[in-house]
Homo-oligomer: A and B are copies of this chain.
Amino acid sequence: MKRRAIYPGSFDPITNGHIDIIRRSLKVFDEVVVVVAMNLRKSSQKSGWFSPEERIELVRKVFRGEKRVRVDLCEGLIMDYARSHKVDAVLRGLRAASDFESEFMMAAINRELNEKVETVFMMTGKNLFFVSSTVLKEVAAFGGSIQAYVPRPVWLAVKKKLQLGELR
């Protein structure tokens, strides 16, 4: 039986922490769909760097040639997406105990909305637990280099935006 998981998030932009989770999840799932989601809790509070289309394009570049990783956009409820796309599981990374409770609540309500889909969690790699899009944006915005924490296509795109003064 083929198992498909979705990995929802804002991915603004995708980091090495996300990539680590995706690669490791391929030991458990046959296919992983990176879902750039518009409706994750709190996402609206985050200032955007990249448009949804740009985020998708960056994920696509990173996983070019890897047939088991796809990328998609979701503009509604994640659990509605899961229902209409034959998804077996929602994948979420846990970086810290502070993530735990909001993830626990979200997993509980998602299960209420669609009890056929399970949420499974993986812990981020030990070298990457402190890498979040939010922290990286701040470091970059103040002139620090984030090259070590993002894949090459992201680093190039960030550098370009910084040079054009498009990032705050």
| Residues in A lying within 8 Å of B, measured CB to CB | 1, 3, 24-25, 27-30, 39, 41, 45, 76-77, 79-80, 88-89, 94-98, 100-109, 111-113, 116-123, 126-127, 129-132, 134-135, 138-139, 141-144, 148
Contact = CB atoms under 8 A, between A and B. Distances in A.
9 contacts: A39-B141, A39-B142, A80-B142, A95-B105, A96-B97, A97-B104, A98-B102, A104-B123, A118-B122
A3 B113 CA distance: 27
Nearest to A79: B144
A141 B44 CA distance: 12
- Interface of chain A, main secondary structure: mixed
